[in-house]
Chains A and B, each alone.
Chain A
Amino acid sequence: MSDNNLLSPNSAPHSDVEDIKIRSNYLRGSLEETLQDPITGSIPEDDNRLMKFHGSYMQDDRDLRNERQKQKLEPAYQFMLRVRAAGGVVTPEQWLMMDRVCQKYANGTIRLTTRQSFQLHGVIKWNLKKTIQEVNEALLSTLAACGDVNRNVMCNPNPYQSEIHSEVYQWASKISDHLDPQTNAYHEIWLDGEKIIDSQDSQVEQEPIYGRVYLPRKFKIGVAVPPSNDVDVFSQDLGFIAIIEDGQLIGFNVTAGGGMGMTHGDAKTYPQISKVIGFCLPEQVIDVAEKTVTIQRDYGDRSVRKHARFKYTIDDRGIDWFIQELTNRLGWSLQEARPFHFEHNGDRYGWVKGSNNKWHFTLFIQNGRVKDEEDYKLMTGLREIAKIHTGDFRLTPNQNLIIANVSSQKKKKIEALISEYGLTDGSHYSALRRNSMACVAFPTCGLAMAESERYLPTLLDKIEPMLKEAGLQDDDIVIRMTGCPNGCARPMLAEIAFIGKAPGKYNMYLGGGFSGNRLNKLYKENIGEAEILESLQPILSQYAKDRQEGEHFGDYVIRAGYVQEVTDGQNFHA
């Protein structure tokens, strides 16, 4: 099983990235040399492909790109560094480390991601090694935060049911550890680890799960604890839904084949929501995860990267094929899926007391960006809290932060700091804003076609008066924006979504399910702000008037006929 250096079983020629992986000698490539090249702040594209596996990729400040080109300067190359922590749980010491390195080596801000990771932006090439070393000294890692491997395993950070969460989190961590790449390259390149000579030919080093070509594309796993679907479990390649009976974790429903990314204008690419395929016991999750990953490894499309995600592997062959293949590899069958119920995919803000008698404070962080502003010293406030906090911090899948496991004695002090720095649970914002997410986009993301993080707050400023007029300011409506259709903020699941097409132009989607259970549908194509506002206004006011008891916005727009319901990603473009 481990001698899996095969490429796709079909005979199509594999993509150039596959070649790069094969040649890379377990993710080394020529990184050691190119990171030293003093003439450029960049690394060659081949090495950049490999850098992703190390948790980083090269970007440039796109605000400066044209200006610098005229000046005969190379683009302002810089690196995004993603630091992962399974389930987004970190200690106060780890928080302080992130705070320190972002000031020292990055752009002075921390970005909390939609996969419960940290991102640093603006790290220049010559500082990468020092940054990664400090991250590792704090027992966090960047390995496999990007690249064609299993990514950060998401897990509901649920502070309400502390014991259950703790148990579920243990399983998420175990899955994560089990699927870590085993190559020594990371230690050699970044941590001055001893070199393994000739590893390509020897048995000293190998990747028992991935093999030397790794996966055809990224692979995402999330673990949800109902009634919250904050991890958007249906957007994951592989999902686990905790099943709790009488206050005990009895196992997990398994979901397979979700994923967000698509390409504008290419109807063969589409977002998909996963299907529930059965139930397994807690101790079986690692086996299910490993076998699923190996199926994708062996059957995923290695010739067309746009078609390489697990959702296409399944959709091309049918879910029954996958269940059969999984059963064959497991040597046992999943049980029948258990009933479950999701109520929402957003966060619940403010103080709550957990079942372990500890307190938890969920802080609203607009678009996950932690920084100090003139009138809002979020970063300083969190630093001061981290200095005295004895519990932990939890990054939520909605890019917010939970100051978790605060003892009753510490609660007063932390409350005092929260109030001193005016840290907000978002209660003075509209519910729409509290349920908003945007990806990073400009100026750093190379894929962005339009603004996202820098623009959504302004757009919300203009939508909020409409909400007020319609009396909807306290109604939870999920709104998401991305600068491109790769879907980092999982926009295709939102009740209202904007996906960038060109500077200032977005496709507008409506009708996602409030609990992350349904894809939305294209409503208007390639529109600017004026048209966005014009389009939304009548729908919001109709919704306020015509909605049924408890009817969510996403459900309403389908009933009212604004868009058709999407039941399967394969009909997303229909």
Chain B
Amino acid sequence: MLELQVSNSPFNQEQAELLNRLLPTLTDHQRVWLNGYLSALQGAGAAAAAAALVQAVAQAEPPDVSKEVTVLYGSQTGNSHNLAAKLSKKLEEQSFQVTLASMSDFKPNALKKIENLFIVVSTHGEGEPPDSAIAFYEFLHSKRAPKLEGLRYSVLALGDTSYEFFCQTGKDFDKRLEELGGERIAPRVDCDVDFDESAAEWMGNVIGALGKLSASGTQASSGVPAIVSSGAESEYSRSNPFYAEVLENLNLNGRGSDRETRHIELSLEGSNLKYEPGDSLGIYPENHPQLVEDLIAAMGWNGEETITVNKNGEQRTLRDALLRYYEITVLTKPLLEQAAQLSSSPELKKLLEAGREQELRAYLDERDLLDLVTDHSFAGVSASQFVSILRKIPARLYSISSSPLAYPDEVHLTVRSVRYEAHGRNRYGVCSVQLAERVEPGDTLPVFIQHNPSFKLPVNPDTPIIMIGPGTGVAPFRAFLGEREETGAEGKTWLFYGDQHFSTDFLYQVEWQRWLKDGVLTRMDVAFSRDTDKKVYVQHRMLEKSREIYEWLQEGAAVYVCGDEKKMAHDVHAALATILEHEGGLSPEQAAEYLTRMQQEKRYQRDVY
């Protein structure tokens, strides 16, 4: 092989040395892979490169059937669990690598990566899946279920023949996996109440079938490098939003809560949009239809009237423009100034006089366009005239609550619905209430990625992180932990969370629990302010743990704060300073300096609003 030098290659001295060290050590297989990887990275002809790569990989080294096996169980009374454990043990004895999990603990997105899947599931009541299997069952039967070509599987169904829908859940899984392209390597076995024999027979079949496949080694591995599509720039942006399909929209707050927090899952499939944990998603919302109607009625306009909305001469009906194009929920001083030109109201002009700033502020607060046109006369002002003074509706930004590695081609949001009463009327957060009331799975929303480089996980995966995110402030930390789980980062993690009530407001509770169990989340402290006589917030929990927090800081931990600025972030900042003073013996000034230095070193990052 040619020895690379500065003179005979485009590389500098250091690069050439590195390559000279690396290249001779590569196997044929690795060289083929790298070749494909590099050409894919160039973007142009990426798909062709990927195809070539897959082919090359397959030709270069026909790999054995994977020794990795996943055994999933859906159990109501524990029988399925026990049988699944038994199968796992047998497979391990055959030196298979087995992942055994309850369907409730299994992340459905991991399905795509699985080659050998065995399911043990009971049927409950009138043909229903056991509770622990419901989510997985629904996912698999939804349109989000991935294609499973290359998957080998078999199902063991438990049931009771005295029920009409005997072993129905097992039958459903069996059928569905086939529909999705899976290959059934051993026939499903339906077990009655005395399941031991039939279950043993099934296990024998499964192990036999796997053994045969291993021996013949004819199956190709589906291990295509995931890098293929990267590198290509998305055509979508803030100015050209992508219409993302809504996959899920549910309320995270339990029954009886004063809160409503929507968990929204959107599909980015086909958009080529990329994001990292810490980034935000922008959404162009629609105004509340009732507010639009009330406004049209108050002005005596005709909603069907066509108006021109921008300099390009784009035409829309008035109703559509007020719904989707203009901001109508916020009053600003410039708007009032222009409005005053249109209005015959002397009060409005007076309000804008110098020296009345406080009065003006009070008027602008929590009022919208309907208030303006009700309080002041705009008689005779045409719709065209009026809308020409309006702003274009701004996009709303939400911290993304998913890791792209954990949910490829998806983006998740965590949005609290804003509803309140002011000046005698119910007011609604434009986007949050649209999401809560008028957006269903299957609808699309115009979105774009808003990168946020100042809220990023440490580059070093071993750096400990302390995350403080009460309420919806917890959103990016779901993304952080998802990312750290997927990348296998080793650094310690500590989450402070809070809200009103433990039982109804513990957003993503089961996910934190799972991460705590798996060690992805090292510690978690919670403050539920309305569950105790004295209101406790995250900063109180931090002060209770001040010694440990200080130790983490000494170990180089990075601190992240997300959420309400006025009510929370300020107090958290003060708590951090107090901890530095008490545990580190710093003066208030030194503590302030310490925090500033942390910020400069990107060890103290905030996403507050």
Q: Which residues of A contact B (CB under 8 A)?
A: 38-41, 64-74, 76, 124, 126, 264-266, 449, 501-505, 525-526
Given A39-B524, A68-B254, A449-B125; A126-B163 close (CB under 8 Å): no
Contact of B513 among A70, A74, A126, A266 (CB under 8 A): A74
From known contacts A265-B162, A503-B126, infer whether A39 and B513 are also in contact, taking CB-CB under 8 Å: yes
Residues of A within 8 A of B510 (CB): 69, 72-74
CB distance from A42 to the nearest CB of B (A): 9
Interface of B with A (CB < 8 Å)? 104, 125-126, 131, 134-135, 160, 162-163, 192-194, 250-255, 263, 502-504, 506-513, 516, 524-526, 531
**16 A-B Cβ contacts within 8 A?**
A38-B525, A39-B512, A41-B503, A64-B254, A64-B255, A66-B131, A69-B134, A70-B135, A71-B250, A74-B509, A264-B162, A265-B192, A266-B193, A503-B125, A503-B126, A526-B162
Q: How far is the CA of A526 from the CA of B166 in the complex (A)?
A: 13
User: In the bound complex, do residue B531 and residue A126 qualify as a contact, i.e. CB atoms below 8 Å apart?
Assistant: yes
Q: Measured between alpha carbons, how far is A204 from B175 in the docked complex, in Å? A: 62
| Complex Cα spacing A39 to B506, Å | 9
Which of chain B's residues have a CB closer than 8 A to the CB of A502?
Answer: 125-126, 163
Secondary structure of the A side of the interface? loop
Q: Which of A67, A71, A76 has the most CB of B within 10 A?
A: A71
User: In the complex, how many angstroms separate the beta carbon of B536 from the nearest chain A beta carbon?
Assistant: 11
- Contacting pair A264 B160 (CB below 8 A): yes
Q: Are B193 and A71 interface neighbours, CB within 8 A?
A: no
List the A side residues contacting B104 at CB < 8 Å. Answer: 69
Of A40, A68, A71, A526, which is within 8 A of B163 by CB?
Answer: A526
CA distance A326 to B44 in the complex (A): 89
A504 to B250: give the CA distance in the assembly, Å. 29
A72 and B508 within 8 A (CB) = yes
Q: Please state if A69 and B131 are interface contacts (CB–CB under 8 Å).
A: yes
In the docked arrangement, what's the CA distance between A505 and B164, Å? 11
Are A38 and B526 touching (Cβ within 8 A)?
A: yes
Closest 8 CB pairs of A and B: A265-B193, A502-B125, A72-B508, A73-B509, A73-B254, A38-B526, A503-B125, A72-B510
**Most B CB atoms within 10 A — which of A40, A72, A449?**
A72
| CB-nearest residue of chain A to B76 | A449
Measured CB to CB, the nearest residue on chain A to B531 is A126
Alpha-carbon separation in the docked complex, A252 to B193 (Å): 42
**Pairwise interchain contact A66-B252, C-beta atoms closer than 8 A:** no
Q: Which residues of chain B are near A124, meaning CB under 8 Å?
A: 503
Since A65-B131, A66-B134 are in contact, a sample of 14 more A-B pairs with Cβ atoms closer than 8 Å, ordered by chain A residue number, is A39-B512, A39-B526, A40-B509, A66-B131, A69-B510, A71-B252, A72-B507, A73-B252, A73-B504, A73-B506, A264-B160, A265-B192, A449-B125, A502-B125
- Closest partner residue, chain B, to A42 (CB atom): B513
Instruction: Please report the C-alpha to C-alpha distance between residue A501 and residue B504 in the assembled complex, in whole angstroms.
Output: 31
How far is it, in angstroms, between the C-alpha of A405 and the C-alpha of B134 when the chains are bound?
A: 54
Closest to A71 in B: B252
Given contacts A38-B526, A39-B512, contact A71 B502 (CB under 8 A): no
* In the bound complex, CA of A335 to CA of B207 (Å): 62
Closest to B135 in A: A69
B125: chain A residues within 8 A (beta carbon): 449, 502-503
Asked if A41 and B502 sit within 8 Å, CB to CB, the answer is yes
CB distance from A382 to the nearest CB of B (A): 28
Q: Which residues of A contact B512 (CB under 8 A)?
A: 39
CB distance from A71 to the nearest CB of B (A): 5
Residues in chain B near residue A71, CB distance under 8 A: 250-254
Distance in angstroms between the alpha carbons of A308 and B253 in the assembled complex: 43
Closest CB of chain A to B86's CB: distance in Å? 15
- Which residues does chain A contribute within 8 Å of B160, judged by CB atoms? 264-265
What is the CB-to-nearest-CB distance from A500 to chain B, in angstroms, rounded to a whole number?
A: 10
| A471 to B70 alpha-carbon distance, docked (Å) | 64
**Contact status B513-A40, CB under 8 Å:** yes
Docked Cα-Cα span, A38 to B253, in Å, equals: 18
> Could you say which of B131, B252, B254, B513 contacts A76, with CB atoms under 8 Å apart?
B254
Which residues on the A side are within 8 Å of B194 (C-beta)?
Answer: 265
Looking at B162, B511, B525, the one whose CB has the most chain A CB atoms below 10 A away is B162
Tell me, rounded to whole Å, the shortest Cβ–Cβ distance linking B168 to chain A: 12
Q: Are A67 and B516 in contact (CB under 8 A)?
A: no
Task: Please name all residues of chain B whose beta carbon is closer than 8 Å to the beta carbon of A69 when the two chains form the complex.
Answer: 104, 131, 134-135, 510
Instruction: Looking at the assembled complex, report how far the CB atom of A201 sits from the nearest CB atom of chain B, in whole angstroms.
Output: 32
Min Cβ gap B125→A in Å is 4
A249 to chain B, nearest CB (A): 45
Whose C-beta in chain B lies nearest to the C-beta of A526?
Answer: B162
Residue of B at shortest CB range from A263?
B193
Q: How far is the CA of A112 from the CA of B509 in the complex (A)?
A: 35
CA distance A502 to B123 in the complex (A): 11
**Chain B residue at minimal CB-CB distance from A67:** B255
Give A449 Cβ to nearest chain B Cβ, in Å: 7
Is there contact, CB below 8 Å, between A72 and B252? yes
A69 to B137 Cα, complex, angstroms:
13
Residues of chain A contacted by B508 (CB below 8 angstroms): 72
Q: How far is the CA of A265 from the CA of B77 in the complex (A)?
A: 14
Task: Give CA–CA (A118, B309) in the complex, Å.
Answer: 71
Q: A71-B253, A503-B125 are in contact. Are A525 and B509 (CB under 8 A)?
A: no
Q: How far is the CA of A449 from the CA of B76 in the complex (A)?
A: 11
- B contact residues around A70 at 8 Å (CB): 135, 250
* Bound form: Cα–Cα A5–B192 in Å: 38
A70 to B136, CA, bound (A): 11
Residue on A with the closest CB to B506?
A: A73
Q: How far is the CA of A266 from the CA of B77 in the complex (A)?
A: 14
Complex: A331 Cα to B518 Cα, angstroms? 57
Selected contact of A72 from candidates B192, B193, B509, CB within 8 Å:
B509
Instruction: Say which residue of B162, B509, B526 sits within 8 Å of A501 (CB atoms).
Output: B162
Chain A residues in 8 Å Cβ range of B502: 38, 41, 126
B505 and chain A: residue at smallest CB distance = A73
Closest to A66 in B: B134
Residues in chain A near residue B504, CB distance under 8 A: 73
User: Nearest CB to that of B124 among chain A residues?
Assistant: A502
Closest beta carbon of chain A to B167's beta carbon, Å: 14
A572 to B253, CA, bound (A): 48
- Identify which of A38, A39, A68, A126 gathers the most chain B CB atoms within 10 Å of its CB: A39
Contacts of A504 in B (CB 8 A): 126
B124 to chain A, nearest CB (A): 8
Partner pick for B511 among A38, A72, A76, A526, CB 8 A cutoff: A72
Minimum Cβ distance to chain B for residue A254 (Å): 36
Task: For residue A551, give the distance in angstroms from its CB to the closest CB of chain B.
Answer: 33
- Could you tell me the distance between the alpha carbons of A502 and B504 in the complex, rounded to whole angstroms? 29
Complex formed: what's the CA distance from A505 to B507 in Å? 36
Q: Which residue of chain B has its CB nearest to the CB of A60?
A: B131
Knowing A38-B526, A502-B163 are in contact, say whether A72-B134 is a contact too (CB < 8 A): no
Measured CB to CB, the nearest residue on chain A to B252 is A71
Give A74 to B503 CA distance when docked, in angstroms: 9
Interface centre among B194, B263, B502, B503 (most CB of A within 10 A): B503
A422, chain B: closest CB distance, angstroms: 31
Residue of A nearest to B165 (CB): A502
Query: For the complex, what is the distance from the CA of A76 to the CA of B504, rounded to whole Å?
Result: 9
* Complexed CA–CA distance, A65 and B508 (Å): 15
Residues of B within 8 A of A449 (CB): 125
* Complex alpha-carbon distance, A64 and B131, angstroms: 12
Q: How far is the CB of A47 from chain B (nearest CB, A)?
A: 16
The answer for the CA separation of A64 and B516 in the assembled complex, in Å, is 24
Bound form: Cα–Cα A65–B253 in Å: 14
Give the CA-CA distance A39 to B494 in the complex, in Å: 13
A346 CA to B443 CA, complexed, in Å: 61
- Minimum CB–CB distance for B524 against chain A, Å: 6
CB distance from A229 to the nearest CB of B (A): 32
Chain B residues whose C-beta falls within 8 Å of the C-beta of A264 in the assembled complex:
160, 162, 193
Min CB–CB distance B241 → chain A (angstroms): 28
- In the assembled complex, the CB of A529 is this many whole angstroms from the nearest CB of chain B, namely 14
B263–A72 touching, CB < 8 Å:
yes
Residues of A within 8 A of B251 (CB): 71
Q: How far is the CA of A41 from the CA of B163 in the complex (A)?
A: 34
Closest Cβ–Cβ distance, residue B386 to chain A (whole Å): 43
CA distance A501 to B250 in the complex (A): 32
